[in-house]
Amino acid sequence: MIDRRTALAGAVAMFGSALFAPIARAAGASLVAKMPVINDGPPTTAIFTAPQRALMTALSERVMPTTDTPGAITAGVPAFIEKLLADWASPNDKVPIVAGLDAIEARSMKDYKVSGSKATPAQQDALLTLAMNDQIPGGANFFEPFRQLVIVGYFTSEVGITQEREYLPVPGEYNGEFLYSKVNKVYSS
């Protein structure tokens, strides 16, 4: 079975040179045999306050929502994000994520009079769109790294590898006439 370490090393190609630094560090370290595995144990330090953690959890589910497959929360993405930021990020790497969460929270209170974690999914989507379009303070600096953290966390989780994608340790035979309409999932290796 493929593990998070192997999947993380493969995720680097997805984002290229725009890869968020802590992900790149962790992926590079995954190539070294005696480095710690990213998903082992709790974070070494707390990165988020309880309200920030609740908002980060809610927003991660909006980036990778539950559909016919589990979403970010079920895949353990919030724990992955905090672990990665605690153990693989420099202090400067954490700033745009924490500041972005605070800016989104402030905007949610201003626009909706409710915490961002308690906002409706449509309101959370609107808040993320504001961040993506840099219409809140530090939005652009927050959105892309956060999106990368969610996507990498999801697709390197057991849920992402086994339920969203299909893992075949040894693919079947070659069939040059296989109809694309019969392909259900993208295969990971």
Which residues, 6+ apart, have CB-to-CB distance to 107 below 8 Å?
116, 127, 130, 136
CB atoms within 10 A of CB 148: 20
pLDDT value of residue 30:
47
pLDDT value of residue 69:
87
pLDDT in tens, 140-158: 999 999 999 998 889 888 8
pLDDT in tens, 164-178: 766 555 556 666 676
pLDDT in tens, 6-49: 555 555 555 555 666 666 666 655 444 455 555 567 788 889 99
